[in-house]
Structure 1
Amino acid sequence: MSGAALTTGTIHGIGLGPGDPDLMSVRAHRLVTSARHVAFFRKQGRSGRARGMVEGMLPAGVVEFAMEYPVTTEIPLAHPGYNAALSAFYTDCTAHLRSLAARGEDVVVLCEGDPFFYGSFMHLYTRLKDDVPVQVVPATTGMSAAWTASGRPITWGDDVLSVLMATLPEDELVRHMEAADALVVMKIGRNIDKVRRALHRAGKYDDAWLVEYASMEGQAVQKLSQAEGRMTPYFSIVLVHGNGRRP
């Protein structure tokens, strides 16, 4: 092995969990508290939720790299400019991280939830994994925190669980909802009315629960029907619990 390969730094994609610092893994905590370089995603003008989750944990002198999304909800997902803007953004972020690794620097990339579960880090991982060492630290997902907050198991026996994005077309939501025994619906936000209609059509509206800010400050759990007529925050998950085979 060459000397250059021995000095190449490692990119660590660190899953921080659903929000409560107490739910962070020991490995994630160790890497965060010893980091020399930290990168994190955030919206323009925001501090970044992942960054906020490690407030007070980072060592003195750590170098921070904020990766600010060029777009979030300003243009539709189907707009040709959306993918183009994000692709260029991830390419630029990757180039910076690659340059740090080439200098022998390890970099901790902070990720909400689990890095491989609908996370932005995946777009960096696929661009980096063939060029520099990349290590991923898994974590408790937001949906796990949500069904735990509901106080009921999400699946029993051989229940089939479907995880759906509320950004799907309504007919697609209905098709998946009808086929599954248990449901997790994410990315609610402005899609809440579409989700309500789909659940009604699938015959599962009365069994749906809404969990807001699972494991975070402001956590709230209620039947979805009790939240009729109002919008929901970004960190919201809709659940339909399974009721399958049990002893």
Structure 2
Amino acid sequence: MNQGTLNPGTVHGVGLGPGSQDLMSVRADRLIRGAAHIAYFRKKGRTGHARRIVEGLLAVDAVELPMEYPVTTEIPFDDPRYKELLSAFYERSVAQLREIADAGRDVVVLCEGDPFFYGSFMHLYTRLQGRVPVAVVPGITGMSAAWTATGRPVTWGDDILTVLMGTLPEAKLTERIAQTDALVVMKIGRNLDKLRRALASSGREDEAWLIEYAAMPQQSIRPFREVGESVPYFSIVVIHGNGRRP
């Protein structure tokens, strides 16, 4: 049988959840342990958070395909070069995955959190559509782990939950924070001061909590007012809703 008659393999985008192996789904665990080819994103020179999560789960002969970002925060995301560099990176990554799938082999792409929630896998998914079979395994999101860590429900009754990126303009952050009942803010990092001002302007700084490393061994929860001048990458701000209840 020549390669042209092979049934193509499947590219599996597998959600790992927020960072703890025991919060992965049974399906994710099964696919990862049985995978002959494992791909994952990472920053150049780093192991990669997704790869660290699955440490000890991979088959001894699994072939690993690290996909190294050409740029992360070195260039502003609104710089035209940022889009050009990442677009070319995703095309190269897709070519690698297609080569494996076209040879009739499956490949698992490790995805932090949920593959369809602000994840890099989405950029592969749209480029792979119609070319090779693609399957997605959902995962627990980091924000779900964050509000669970606070020990309080994030929404009640008819509460409106808003998810914001810290990269938004300050005026937009302030407006959205003031309008919603419950709130999650992600991608804080270098946007911390801007977010602090937006929370203060909307009058909701006292309601906000900062969760660092949700569901990881170094998890930390504290009122936002106690936050210093910087926060780690894995940080999420939560404001709980207080809506209708029996």
Which interval holds the TM-score relative to the shorter structure? Answer: over 0.9
Residue 240 of structure 1 corresponds to which residue in structure 2?
239
The answer as to whether partners of 2:6 and 2:103 remain within 8 angstroms in 1 is: no
C-alpha displacement of 1:6: 5.9
Post-superposition CA distance 1:140-166 (Å, at most 9, x none):
000000000000000000000000000
* Count of aligned positions: 244
Question: How far apart in 2 are the matches of 1:177 and 1:208?
Answer: 11
3-state DSSP of counterpart to 2:46: coil
Q: Which amino acid is 1:239 matched to?
A: V
Residue 201 of structure 1 corresponds to which residue in structure 2?
201
Post-superposition CA distance 1:67-117 (Å, at most 9, x none):
000000001111110000000000000011011100001000000000000
| Ranges in structure 1 where 5+ consecutive residues have no aligned partner | none
Post-superposition CA distance 1:201-220 (Å, at most 9, x none):
11111100000000012100
Structure 2 matches for 1:220-235, cutoff 5 A?
220-227=220-227, 229-235=228-234
Q: Which amino acid is 1:187 matched to?
A: K
Question: How far apart in 1 are the matches of 2:151 and 2:196?
Answer: 22
Q: Which amino acid is 2:57 matched to?
A: M
Question: How far apart in 1 are the matches of 2:206 and 2:5?
Answer: 58
Question: How far apart in 2 are the matches of 1:245 and 1:161?
Answer: 14
TM-score for both structures, normalised by structure 2: 0.97
C-alpha displacement of 1:7: 1.5
3-state DSSP of counterpart to 1:242: coil
C-alpha displacement of 1:4: 5.2
Residue 216 of structure 2 corresponds to which residue in structure 1?
216
C-alpha displacement of 1:184: 0.1
Question: How far apart in 1 are the matches of 2:67 and 2:149?
Answer: 31
Structure 2 matches for 1:1-247, cutoff 5 A?
7-227=7-227, 229-247=228-246
Task: Give the superposed CA RMSD.
Answer: 1.1
Aligned sequence identity (%): 63
Question: How far apart in 2 are the matches of 1:52 and 1:210?
Answer: 24
3-state DSSP of counterpart to 2:238: strand
| Ranges in structure 2 where 5+ consecutive residues have no aligned partner | none
C-alpha displacement of 1:5: 7.0
C-alpha displacement of 1:190: 1.2
Question: How far apart in 1 are the matches of 2:77 and 2:233?
Answer: 16
